[in-house]
Amino acid sequence: MFLERPEVSDLMKRFGTHACLELFGAYGVKLLHGADDRELSGPVFSSVIGLVGDKLRATCLLAATEGPLRASCPAGEQLRDWTGELANQLVGRIKMQLFARSVNVALSTPLTLTSVRLVPLPRSNVGPIQFTLETEPVTVWLEVQATSDFELGPECLPVVSIGELRLF
């Protein structure tokens, strides 16, 4: 049975924070962590991905206004498309952190939406993770459930690191 476990949500929040800072950093954008938790107002680009494993399941939403998306986008100006790809890479990084600790999850493909406003209403006390680039917000919102026997294994190194090429 899946339950909301605050300690697991906190753990995933740490993974999400690390993953988001590293991801935007890889595209030359230095986000600041810990902004106020105000709503995002428009246009807001949001992308949602599901993570499903035997003992852990989660929904991850990445949302941002135009500034951080434009600053990180390596080609073109299709911000809706880029939001989906960023969410994909963000969740890929979270998955790698979980897998390094013996937790395997499958990922859905991203669903992207554009809105005038986004006001998160978290199900638990663990709220979304807030970042800013100058005055513009980036939010990572992870809602997590785990079985009562879910736990992390000892950390091990990934087979292939981010940005690495492995030839067979």
Partner 1 sequence: MKKVLIVDDSDTIRRQVAAALRSNFAVLEAANGVDGLACAGANVDLSLILLDLNMPLLNGVDMLEQLKSDLRTREIPVLMLTTEAEPSLIDRAKRAGASGWIVKPVKPDMLASAAVRVAR
Three-state DSSP state, 137: strand
- Looking at the Cβ atoms of 4 and 99, the one nearer to partner 1 is 99
DSSP 8-state assignment for residue 5: -
**Least Cβ distance, residue 105 to partner 1 (angstroms):** 9
- Looking at the Cβ atoms of 32 and 162, the one nearer to partner 1 is 162
Cis peptide before 43 (omega within 30 of 0): yes
Residue from 53, 55, 66, 81 touching partner 1 (CB under 8 A): that is 81
Could you tell me which residues come within 8 angstroms of residue 32 by beta carbon, excluding any fewer than 6 positions away?
131, 132, 133
Q: Does residue 114 belong to the site contacting partner 1 (CB under 8 A)?
A: no
Residue from 35, 71, 107, 113 touching partner 1 (CB under 8 A): that is 107
Q: Does residue 162 belong to the site contacting partner 1 (CB under 8 A)?
A: yes
Stretch that binds partner 1, among 57-65, 78-86, 134-142, 144-152 (CB under 8 A): 78-86
Three-state DSSP state, 43: strand
The sign one gets for the Cα dihedral 77, 95, 107, 65 is negative
Q: How many CB atoms lie within 10 A of CB 89?
A: 17
Stretch that binds partner 1, among 55-63, 133-141, 143-151, 156-164 (CB under 8 A): 156-164
Q: Does residue 99 belong to the site contacting partner 1 (CB under 8 A)?
A: yes
Q: Are the beta carbons of 64 and 128 closer than 8 angstroms? A: no
Calpha distance 136→148 (Å, rounded): 38
- Looking at the Cβ atoms of 98 and 126, the one nearer to partner 1 is 98
Residue from 74, 121, 134, 135 touching partner 1 (CB under 8 A): that is 74
| Six token digits for residue 148 | 């009562």
Binding site for partner 1 (CB under 8 A): 26-27, 73-76, 78, 81-82, 84-85, 88-89, 91-93, 95-96, 99, 104, 107, 109, 158-168
